[in-house]
């Protein structure tokens, strides 16, 4: 099947290329004038960076391989500073480029250092996990973590392009692949109910890269995100809907010291958001949320005694305005809304349902 191109519109439009064996598309995404390419990739997974470096070298670029820690450990000020120093040593100029290869943490880091080096150099992202393909690498929002929270330091820099080679997915550990489904399912609840129908049609097939609907699920979720971020790059309004389920999810990640998979935290967070929607007199999609997440093996509850700690973490959520807490809820299927400054008893009551 040929490659699919989804254009993310806005002030700096770019394409997301989706297909199997599509590395030949990479030079075209880099565009004209690039001489040196710094490839940022996880040190523990050289097998995912070698084909990318080879494709770039074959196209005539000078390639600098820059390994970083795997997973969330890469998203720190210390790792970013090491990359900035490497860019200086190798003479990365404004006419050069960065390519980020790996999961969402790596593409977040690559986008951040590219956006801050020389006030912004070109970056192309090559996500190699399901979560990174359908979420982290698309949208131009890049960030690193601090002790106070996740993604609190970051930039808005649309990439020059995103290359999703589906050939990398079969090598993913099953639990990691399933965790990526949470973001796809989120897209179904906030914008595209067909996604939910495809998962519900055959939940077992949804949990494998070889599933009948796999490519359709990936392309539909990317289209959802492209539509949203193309209209609102800097999260001034519409883009907040992509944070459905994330307020509690980020709090859980911090409580777990980022040892829980992002998608697993998002799954629990979506149940919380569904419970909050129901208790606030909005939509009641709790049962469907729990059923579809359970059908693919995602968690739907969290420990009862965690609420005080989670509540403290939630106060640092990026959607908050001043002292007012804001939550993305559902007014109906594919009808996201906002709940501003809900009473404490409502927030706690929703969590009791999650912990039940």
For the domain that residue 222 is a member of, what is the CATH number? Answer: 1.20.1090.10
Q: Are residues 37 and 159 in the same domain?
A: yes
Q: What does the pLDDT read at residue 321?
A: 59
For residue 141, indicate whether it is catalytic: yes
What is the domain count for the chain? Answer: 2
* Residues 186, 134: Cα–Cα separation, whole Å: 11
Q: Is the dihedral of CA 157, 2, 101, 65 positive or negative?
A: negative
Q: Are residues 149 and 191 in the same domain?
A: no
Q: Are residues 304 and 351 in the same domain?
A: yes
Helix (H, G, I), strand (E, B) or coil at 337: strand
Does 47 show up as a binding residue in the annotation? Answer: no
The DSSP output letter for 295 is H
Does 74 show up as a binding residue in the annotation? Answer: yes
Q: Are residues 25 and 156 in the same domain?
A: yes
DSSP H or E stretch at residue 352: helix 344-355
For residue 320, indicate whether it is catalytic: no
Q: Are residues 270 and 325 in the same domain?
A: yes
DSSP H or E stretch at residue 338: strand 335-340
For residue 313, indicate whether it is catalytic: no
pLDDT in tens, the chain (356 residues): 689 999 999 889 999 999 999 999 999 999 989 999 999 999 988 888 999 999 999 999 999 999 999 988 999 999 999 999 999 999 999 999 999 999 999 999 999 999 999 999 999 999 999 999 999 999 888 999 888 777 889 999 899 999 999 999 999 999 999 999 999 999 999 999 999 999 999 999 999 999 999 999 999 999 999 999 988 888 878 889 999 999 999 999 999 988 999 999 999 999 999 999 999 999 999 999 999 999 999 999 999 999 999 999 998 765 655 568 889 999 999 999 999 999 999 999 999 999 98
Q: Are residues 285 and 211 in the same domain?
A: yes
For residue 250, indicate whether it is catalytic: yes
The label of the residue with tokens 């729990």 reads: 290
Neighbours of 211 (CB within 10 A): 17
Domain boundary among the residues 149, 171, 193 is at 171
Q: Are residues 150 and 204 in the same domain?
A: no
Q: Are residues 183 and 324 in the same domain?
A: yes
For residue 41, indicate whether it is catalytic: no
* Residues 325, 4: Cα–Cα separation, whole Å: 39
Catalytic residue among 141, 290, 313, 326: 141
* Residues 30, 100: Cα–Cα separation, whole Å: 12
Domain boundary among the residues 132, 156, 171 is at 171
Q: Are residues 196 and 341 in the same domain?
A: yes
For residue 243, indicate whether it is catalytic: yes
What six digits make up the tokens of 184? 């796809």
Q: Are residues 48 and 87 in the same domain?
A: yes
The DSSP output letter for 134 is I
Q: Could you give the maximum distance between any two Cα atoms of the chain, in Å?
A: 61
Beta-carbon contacts of residue 199 (< 8 Å; ≥ 6 apart): 181, 184, 185, 188, 206, 213, 217, 292, 295, 296
Beta-carbon contacts of residue 237 (< 8 Å; ≥ 6 apart): none
For residue 239, indicate whether it is catalytic: yes
Catalytic residue among 186, 246, 278, 313: 246
For residue 213, indicate whether it is catalytic: no
Q: Which domain holds residue 289?
A: 174-355
Q: What does the pLDDT read at residue 19?
A: 96
Catalytic residue among 122, 221, 225, 278: 225
* Residues 228, 139: Cα–Cα separation, whole Å: 9
pTM of the model: 0.94
Q: Are residues 78 and 222 in the same domain?
A: no
Domain boundary among the residues 135, 150, 171 is at 171
Does 141 show up as a binding residue in the annotation? Answer: yes
* Residues 210, 333: Cα–Cα separation, whole Å: 28
* Residues 186, 195: Cα–Cα separation, whole Å: 9
Residue 78 belongs to a domain with what CATH number?
Answer: 3.40.50.1970
Closest Cα to residue 190, out of 31, 337, 335, 3?
335
Q: Are residues 110 and 133 in the same domain?
A: yes
């Amino acid at each position: 099947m040929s490659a699919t191109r989804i254009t993310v519109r806005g002030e700096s439009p770019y394409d997301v290329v989706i297909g199997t064996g599509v590395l030949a598309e990479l030079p075209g995404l880099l565009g004209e004038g690039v001489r040196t390419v710094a490839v940022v990739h996880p040190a523990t997974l050289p097998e995912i960076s070698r084909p990318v470096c080879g494709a770039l070298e074959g196209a005539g670029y000078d390639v600098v391989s820059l390994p970083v820690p795997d997973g969330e450990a890469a998203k720190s000020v210390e790792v970013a500073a090491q990359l900035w120093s490497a860019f200086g040593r190798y003479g990365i100029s404004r006419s050069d480029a960065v390519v980020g290869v790996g999961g969402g943490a790596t593409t977040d880091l690559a986008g951040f250092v590219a956006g801050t080096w020389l006030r912004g150099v070109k970056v192309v992202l090559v996500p190699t996990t399901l979560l990174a393909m359908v979420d982290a690498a698309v949208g131009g929002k890049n960030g690193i973590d601090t002790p106070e929270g996740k993604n609190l330091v970051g930039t808005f820099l649309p990439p020059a392009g995103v290359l999703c080679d589906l050939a990398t997915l079969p090598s993913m550990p099953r639990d990691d692949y399933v965790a990526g489904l949470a973001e796809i399912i989120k897209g179904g609840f906030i914008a595209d109910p067909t996604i939910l129908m495809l998962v519900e049609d055959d939940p077992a097939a949804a949990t494998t890269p070889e599933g009948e609907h796999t490519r359709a699920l990936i392309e539909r979720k990317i289209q959802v995100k492209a539509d949203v971020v193309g209209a609102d790059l800097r999260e001034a309004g519409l883009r907040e809907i992509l944070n459905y389920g994330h307020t509690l999810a980020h709090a859980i990640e911090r409580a777990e010291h980022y040892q829980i998979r992002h998608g697993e935290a998002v799954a629990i967070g979506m149940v919380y958001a569904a419970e909050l929607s129901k208790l606030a007199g909005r939509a009641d999609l709790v049962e469907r949320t729990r059923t579809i997440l359970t059908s693919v093996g995602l968690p739907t509850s969290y420990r009862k005694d965690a609420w005080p700690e989670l509540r403290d973490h939630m106060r640092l959520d990026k959607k908050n305005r001043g002292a007012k807490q804001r939550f993305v809820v559902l007014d109906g299927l594919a009808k996201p809304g906002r709940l501003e400054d809900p009473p404490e008893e409502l927030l706690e009551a929703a969590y009791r349902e999650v912990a039940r």
